[in-house]
């Protein structure tokens, strides 16, 4: 029986990357050969050297919402910080409110100097959240872009100069509370080179929820319940992935979000990908049998997190923790703005 502590490791705080590198693809990359166990230190711009013509990079096209809003209560002038999580329907959003005790049902919050956005708390939700109904004039996403800030993870203490650096270069569909960080290493030039080498680029969508940052609170990992996240995989993408598998090429998942989506939509019977959309709460931990993914590009994740558990399922726990120990020794940069790992 595996416990949460079995996925712990020592990480000096100074290795937590606080800012992105100027050049995305200049990140370091630790290549892990799952057959031989060999570890290779290189840089991300060499990633294509490990792929073959006909292989496919599967990318998550989600775009992070500038979902952190700062407002005031008109009755008291008190300040409230609100983080949008998921759109329930219409103008109603499930949110986290800092100092939630001051955010009772019925509370009105003004956002912006000219009250461009007004929120009313209409109910309480799980984990201390609040459902807020917004009123405004114009386009909601445009108002968010002007008023909101990027919801950077709590371990990043430095303000981001350019908000686009917390977006992948291929981000399209707004809806995430966090970036699919493995994709932050790609540049448009690198993607163009991939296509010129005959490597397919296949998109899917999974909106990353804030549960990504929630620590695992149970002792036995089998007792953990994953947060649900919205995904979409088109008919065209499904057909292209199935074709890649049929001809014997490799599916390279860019990030754990792509893994979770692919493994959600794969048939239990034969691993065929089926186009669909909906909510997934799949929890991948050691013992899981992968149906689709052949290689994985990922970052270095928090100790005891579900993401370390997923990577451990893809290889094995002891080898993954040994690779992390190597990365610490070699002073790799960790977490969202950190370096990459390629498991082949």
Size (the chain), residues: 344
Read off the pLDDT band of 177 (50, 70, 90): confident
203 and 72 co-located in one domain: no
- Buried b / exposed e across 221-248, counting CB within 10 Å, b at 16+? beeeebbebbbbbeeebbebbbebbeee
pLDDT at 273 (0 to 100): 96
> Distance (Å, rounded) from C-alpha 7 to C-alpha 33?
20
Q: In what order do the strands lie in the sheet with 229-233?
A: 39-43, 28-32, 340-343, 295-299, 251-254, 56-60, 200-206, 229-233, 276-280
Q: In this model, does residue 234 exceed pLDDT 80?
A: yes
Q: Residue 75 sits in a domain of what CATH number?
A: 2.40.10.240
The dihedral sign for the CA sequence 128, 129, 130, 131: negative
Q: What are the structure tokens assigned to 110, written together?
A: 């003004």
Q: What are the structure tokens assigned to 4, written together?
A: 């949460």
pLDDT at 1 (0 to 100): 87
Q: Residue 28 sits in a domain of what CATH number?
A: 3.40.1780.10
Which of these, 337, 333, 338, lies nearest to 12 by C-alpha position?
Answer: 333
27 Cα distance to chain centroid:
18
Q: What are the structure tokens assigned to 38, written together?
A: 């060999």
195 and 281 co-located in one domain: yes
**Beta strand 39-43 with 173-176: parallel, antiparallel or unpaired?**
unpaired
Q: How many CA atoms lie within 13 A of 114 on its CB side?
A: 5
Strand ranges inside the chain, DSSP E: 28-32, 39-43, 56-60, 62-64, 68-72, 79-89, 92-97, 108-111, 117-124, 130-136, 173-176, 200-206, 229-233, 251-254, 276-280, 295-299, 340-343
**Beta strand 340-343 with 28-32: parallel, antiparallel or unpaired?**
parallel
pLDDT at 10 (0 to 100): 96
pLDDT at 215 (0 to 100): 77
| 40 lies in some domain | yes
pLDDT tens digits for range 300-320 = 999 999 999 999 999 999 999
Strand ranges inside 106-199, DSSP E: 108-111, 117-124, 130-136, 173-176
- Under 8 Å between Cβ of 56 and 254: no
> Distance (Å, rounded) from C-alpha 192 to C-alpha 195?
5
| 156 lies in some domain | no
| 153 lies in some domain | no
pLDDT at 87 (0 to 100): 87
| 129 lies in some domain | yes
35 and 89 co-located in one domain: no
Give me the mean pLDDT over the 189-195 stretch: 98
Question: Residue 106 has what DSSP assignment?
Answer: T
| 310 lies in some domain | yes
Q: In this model, does residue 213 exceed pLDDT 70?
A: no
Q: What are the structure tokens assigned to 130, written together?
A: 């609040």
pLDDT at 225 (0 to 100): 87
pLDDT at 98 (0 to 100): 87
> Distance (Å, rounded) from C-alpha 57 to C-alpha 296?
10
pLDDT tens digits for range 42-69 = 999 999 999 999 999 999 999 999 999 9
Q: In this model, does residue 35 exceed pLDDT 80?
A: yes
pLDDT at 152 (0 to 100): 86
181 and 296 co-located in one domain: yes
How many domains is the chain built from? Answer: 2
Read off the pLDDT band of 100 (50, 70, 90): confident
295 and 312 co-located in one domain: yes
Read off the pLDDT band of 212 (50, 70, 90): low
Q: In this model, does residue 153 exceed pLDDT 90?
A: no
Q: In this model, does residue 41 exceed pLDDT 70?
A: yes
Q: What is the mean pLDDT of the chain?
A: 94
108 and 241 co-located in one domain: no
Of 147, 176, 197, which closes a domain? 147
Least confident range from 173-182, 247-256, 296-305: namely 173-182
Q: In this model, does residue 170 exceed pLDDT 90?
A: yes
206 and 242 co-located in one domain: yes
170 and 260 co-located in one domain: yes
Helix (H, G, I), strand (E, B) or coil at 276: strand
Of 116, 147, 178, which closes a domain? 147
Q: How many CA atoms lie within 13 A of 33 on its CB side?
A: 8
Of 84, 115, 147, which closes a domain? 147
203 and 298 co-located in one domain: yes
- Under 8 Å between Cβ of 30 and 342: yes
48 and 73 co-located in one domain: no
Domain carrying residue 83 = 68-147
Give me the mean pLDDT over the 319-344 stretch: 98
277 and 173 co-located in one domain: yes
Read off the pLDDT band of 163 (50, 70, 90): confident
Least confident range from 74-78, 250-254, 272-276, 297-301: namely 74-78
């Amino acid at each position: 029986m595996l416990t949460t502590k079995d996925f712990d490791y020592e990480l000096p705080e100074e290795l937590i990357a606080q800012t992105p590198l100027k050049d995305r693809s200049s990140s370091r990359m630790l290549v892990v050969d799952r057959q031989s166990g060999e570890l290779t230190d290189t840089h991300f711009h060499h990633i294509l050297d490990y792929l073959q013509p006909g292989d496919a990079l599967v990318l998550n096209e989600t775009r992070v919402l500038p979902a952190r809003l700062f407002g005031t209560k008109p009755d008291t002038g008190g300040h409230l910080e609100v983080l949008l999580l998921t759109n329930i329907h219409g103008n109603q959003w499930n949110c986290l409110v800092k100092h939630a005790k001051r955010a009772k049902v019925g509370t009105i919050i003004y956002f912006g100097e000219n009250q461009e956005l007004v929120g009313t708390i209409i109910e309480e939700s799980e984990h201390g959240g609040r459902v807020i109904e917004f009123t405004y004039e114009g386009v909601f996403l445009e108002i968010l872009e002007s008023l909101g800030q990027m919801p950077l993870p709590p371990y990043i203490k430095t303000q981001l100069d350019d908000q686009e650096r917390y977006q992948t270069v291929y981000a399209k569909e707004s809806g995430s509370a966090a970036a699919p960080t493995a994709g932050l290493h790609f540049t448009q030039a690198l993607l163009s080179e991939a296509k010129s080498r005959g490597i397919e680029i296949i998109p899917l969508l999974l909106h990353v929820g804030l549960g990504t940052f929630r620590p695992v609170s149970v002792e036995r990992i089998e007792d953990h319940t994953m947060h649900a996240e919205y995904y979409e995989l088109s008919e065209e993408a499904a057909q292209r992935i199935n074709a890649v598998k049929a001809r014997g090429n490799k599916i390279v998942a860019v990030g754990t979000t792509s893994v979770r989506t692919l493994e959600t939509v794969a048939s239990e019977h034969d691993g065929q990908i089926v186009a669909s959309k909906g909510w997934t709460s799949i929890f991948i931990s050691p013992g899981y049998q992968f149906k689709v993914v052949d290689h994985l590009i990922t970052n270095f994740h928090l100790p005891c997190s579900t993401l370390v558990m997923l990577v451990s399922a893809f290889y094995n726990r002891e080898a993954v923790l040994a690779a992390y120990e190597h990365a610490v020794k070699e002073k790799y940069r960790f977490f969202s703005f950190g370096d990459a790992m390629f498991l082949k």
